[in-house]
Amino acid sequence: MTKDSPRKFLEKKTKEINQKMKTSFVLIRKDVDEMQTTIDAMRRYLKNKDEQYKYAKKEDNKIRDEFRKDVDEFTQKIASLNIALSRMKTIQEEVVLIRDLAKIEDEIKTSFKNEIEGYKEQIKLLRDEFKETEKRISAMENGYVREKKKSWFFNKNNK
């Protein structure tokens, strides 16, 4: 009986160990299956997030490209506006010069006209004086003194 007993004991212990191992493997398999399910769910989630990220990055790149194009177009328009502005400044300076030249010309014309009118008046007065002087000379030659005629309407001292 003693011989049987260690054998039975050993068999019993072996069966218990086998049973525990089977249970452990079943539990391990169950845990691995749960982990695999979690890992698959994480993979799907990460794949979905990766696709969303790629799509967002693609859209962001499109927006950046459009923004760059807009900035380039804006820069070109600013450059053309600067050129147009510089041309306008030169045109404005030319117009100012032309306008100033026209004013100067008008002032010169007016000044010459006024001077000519003044000279005409002086010539007229000088002619009148000359006529008066000739009359006085001819009167002196004839033997009498003639006084200068005074005009009550036109006073030449005011001119």
Q: How far is C-alpha 55 from the chain's CA centre? A: 34
Average pLDDT over residues 51-72: 93
Identify the band that residue 66 occupies on the pLDDT scale cut at 50, 70 and 90: very high
Global pTM exceeds 0.85: no
| Residue ranges covered by each domain of the chain | 4-158
Tokens of 43: 């993979």
Nearest alpha-carbon partner for 150 in 130, 134, 132, 137: 132
CB 146 within 8 A of CB 139: yes
**R_g over Cα of the chain:** 61
Per residue in 91-148, pLDDT tens? 888 877 777 888 888 888 898 888 888 888 889 888 888 888 888 888 888 877 766 6
